[in-house]
Structure 1
Amino acid sequence: MNIVVFGANGPTGRQVTAQALAEGHTVTAVTRRPEQFPAGDARLRVAGADVFDPAAVSRAVAGQDAVVSTLGVPYGRKPVTVYSAGVTAISRAMTEHGVRRLVCVSSAVLFRVAAPGETFFFRKVVEPAIARTVGRTVYEDMRRMEETVRDGDHRWTVVRPAGLFDADAVSAYQVATSRLPGRFTSRADLGAVLLREAVDDRHVRAFVDVRTTQGVPGILDVIRKEAFGGRG
């Protein structure tokens, strides 16, 4: 299968790329910094492109069977448009080239309901503080991205992970179309779900939660690293 991964040089994008190559798929890894992407696999093509460049996006999408978007930016005060602008360019390119399958990443925060069994403090203080202050511009643009995807006519799936952290391997993760209990998702598990959705069409036109249940870190460790160190 031919799969194009946007945001491929981010930690989640690298997970999707590596797992797809390990399964024998052909991958086009799209990144603004192709010189920084590890090459060496005959089935890997690294494409230098910016999602704000429609012509470059079109070239990357041509000839693909599925598109995976792992685009992401750090939290900050400035307005964010990379999610919505990126998926708009990707969707137009998919229509142009007749590509139907689209899988992209947003956040479990966009379920707008608390995780089952969550503590009062996390539900009423911690998560709202992140969503409405430090992460506000990111989540606003994620919401715009989701609206664009939902209103399109492609075979789409939006995966909404919780707080992201790094792990060495894919675990026995949980997947559902409603918010799951737990606070964290490993990037290895997220990459696995993105790949499975792209390849197997498991949850077409649905919003999907994924949750890691083994070896999860402490909340302060994740907030300290992820809230100010970037997403994706």
Structure 2
Amino acid sequence: MSKIVVFGAGGRAGRHAVAEATARGHQVTAVVRDPQQHPDLAGTGIAVVAGDVTQPDSVAEVAARHDAAVNAAARLDVPAETFFPVAARALLDGLARAGVGRLVAIGIGTVLETAPGVAVHDDPGFPAEGRAFSLGHAAGLAALQGADTDIDWVVLAPPPVVLDNEAARTGRYRTGGTRILPVDDSATFSYADLAVALIDEIETPKHHRALIAVAPCA
């Protein structure tokens, strides 16, 4: 059993990560900006605390005495190009001070490549508003890649489709590299199975300091 701190625990991906981790017997600290807004998160093996993923001191405080971290945090009220790199640097700083060596973060499928050096968001027809958000994720990834850190991080990027919040957990998924994985038009990927991939990377790390595509099994 490990102690896992989950940043952004109030969102869909974060909630599923909390549920998956606790179902496996881990102790979880669920970090949200305002715990009073998420009374339903509390439960056996779960501590709900206030924290700010963009502040290294806050990260260090809530992550102390934990074994690993999951980052599912996102802000829609802050420009993506500001939020994601600031959060990435704060996580690396704060987790290092807290002695947490493993970080598993959720990326976005639009930063994956369709060809070497060409991301999904580089398509000429890609929506401008979506591209700005994707570029923010890319900036966060660049902050991780460029950091001089001992933190063993990995970013898991689900396919660029709307994830299913209600679909049942199958426990099955596949991973690749930085290239987008082919997905059938009728295929769906659930938050529950994304959470399986996240916690698997904590229990049995297979990928290190890389962007990794994750998708439903073909």
Superposed CA deviations along residues 59-86 of structure 1, whole A, max 9, x for unmatched, are 1111111111011244x99554222111
User: Is residue 145 of structure 1 aligned with residue 140 of structure 2?
Assistant: yes
Secondary structure at 2:85 match in 1: helix
Distance, in Å, in 1 between the alignment partners of 2:193 and 2:181 is 14
Distance, in Å, in 2 between the alignment partners of 1:109 and 1:195 is 22
User: For structure 1, which segment, 32-41 or 16-25, has the greater mean C-alpha deviation from structure 2 after superposition?
Assistant: 32-41
User: For structure 1, which segment, 43-52 or 181-190, has the greater mean C-alpha deviation from structure 2 after superposition?
Assistant: 181-190
Q: Aligned residue pairs: how many? A: 203
What is the root-mean-square deviation of aligned Cα atoms in Å?
2.5
Q: CA deviation at 1:108?
A: 2.0
Residue in 2 that maps onto 1:26: 27
Q: CA deviation at 1:112?
A: 2.5
Question: Which residue type is aligned with residue 170 of structure 1?
Answer: R
Superposed CA deviations along residues 163-191 of structure 1, whole A, max 9, x for unmatched, are 23223322332222242101653211111
Residue in 2 that maps onto 1:160: 157
Residue in 2 that maps onto 1:169: 168
Alignment of 1:19-168 (within 5 A): 19-37=20-38, 38-74=40-76, 78=79, 80-113=81-114, 128-130=124-126, 133-152=128-147, 153=149, 154-162=151-159, 163-166=161-164, 167-168=166-167
Confirm or deny: 8 A CA contact 1:164 1:187 kept in the other structure.
Answer: no
Secondary structure at 1:5 match in 2: strand
Question: Larger helix proportion, structure 1 or 2?
Answer: 1
TM-score, normalisation: structure 1: 0.78
Q: CA deviation at 1:151?
A: 2.6
Q: Find 2:196's aligned residue among 175, 184, 192.
A: 192
Distance, in Å, in 2 between the alignment partners of 1:17 and 1:28 is 8
User: Which runs of no fewer than 5 residues in structure 1 stay unpaired?
Assistant: 115-122, 215-232
Question: Which residue type is aligned with residue 30 of structure 1?
Answer: V
Confirm or deny: 8 A CA contact 1:77 1:134 kept in the other structure.
Answer: no
User: Which runs of no fewer than 5 residues in structure 2 stay unpaired?
Assistant: none
Distance, in Å, in 2 between the alignment partners of 1:165 and 1:55 is 32
Q: CA deviation at 1:124?
A: 10
TM-score, normalisation: structure 2: 0.83
Distance, in Å, in 2 between the alignment partners of 1:56 and 1:145 is 19
